[in-house]
Structure 1
């Protein structure tokens, strides 16, 4: 089984998935860099342009007996049995991004994307509401978020979409 954990940068994906036990966790952004699974470097955004076909092929080659958890803001673009979309209030998320050194403009752009439900909408469009699990991380510690992700993996949580609303940020 493949579970994608996605969300706007700063929602807590890496921090939460590092606390999962019993699953194989792939931090996709690291794999993209380490395996050269990108087509170019976007110097304006200081980021890599992901090679989606190459990533899908690489993911298909990963064999595991435990659930495979793929973590990245891009994870929802790939095949998955379940997709967890981590959400965080844009103001908190923007602070997190700025604290880790992101430029103000990039942090604000991501905050607006979070308020507009961009990743949630893309996830529902690609995987459907029946395979999407929205988790608000705003007031939760990483262990609690990991616990909720674990419930999704085990099939102990119902799909949820549209329960989080940050339109007040706009």
Structure 2
């Protein structure tokens, strides 16, 4: 569709047809960083749910969920989640996008809080972190929680 014939759908924030196509192409799951980390964790023998809700009534999904040990893993994109090292405010429509990223950050903190209150361990990694480092931390955490000794306060 030629640029001049394009009309944004009602309520759309897209400023052009090209911008709309670009934004629609951004993946919300199965990103390359997620796939690399998942492959490494799977190779070490751990199994998990992908893009799953940690809690049944929770509207948010984690990138990897280890239900038996209550570990939720998030691989956050530097732009969408406001990485302190790599986030650069956009030049086009900065008010909208900066507010969007700020809401994402607030939602991430709220997700962490809710999961931790429910007894979950939350692991967050940036997409720029080495997949091997992230995978190793995930494996160590899951294995530590899997082999955690039960409470020894009962009668002897």
- Whether TM exceeds 0.5 here: the answer is no
User: TM (normalized to structure 2)?
Assistant: 0.41
User: TM (normalized to structure 1)?
Assistant: 0.39
Name the structure with the higher strand share. 1
